Amino acid sequence: MPKVTFIERNGNRREIDAPAGLSVLEIAHRNDIDIEGACEGSLACSTCHVIVDDAWFDRLPAAKEDEEDMLDLAFGLTRTSRLGCQLIVTDQLDGLVLKLPPRRD
């Protein structure tokens, strides 16, 4: 089973078993990772924003235009930002590293 590492806002690293075929958002919710996902994965918000580790970013499928539009609304946007609801785990993504962005205060 693939594994995904989440780097939480406090710097803790959590390596999670990530069944292939699930989105990063679904995996986060199943494992009490602090990602909101207000639209429940319908690509209508940016609250599942994650920052992909540089080493992994170019291995991911390119973001579609709808995702890019939603990312424009994300707080703490970076060059490697993606929406967790749009990242589907595959066996090829075993070891994926994601960082949670800072919270808006």
pLDDT at position 37 over 70: yes
Task: Domain ranges for the chain, please list them.
Answer: 3-99
Residue 102 DSSP SS3? coil
Q: Which two tokens stand for residue 79?
A: 């060059």
Predicted local distance difference test score (pLDDT) of residue 103: 83
Q: What is the mean pLDDT of residues 19-43?
A: 96
pLDDT at position 105 over 80: no
Q: What is the mean pLDDT of residues 4-33?
A: 97
- The model's confidence at residue 104, banded by pLDDT at 50, 70 and 90, is confident
Predicted local distance difference test score (pLDDT) of residue 57: 97
- Tell me which fold the domain 3-99 belongs to: Ubiquitin-like (UB roll) (3.10.20)
Cβ–Cβ contacts within 10 Å for residue 80, how many? Answer: 17
Q: In which order are the strands placed within the sheet that holds 13-17?
A: 13-17, 3-7, 96-99, 49-52, 81-83
Residues of the chain with pLDDT > 70: what percent? 99
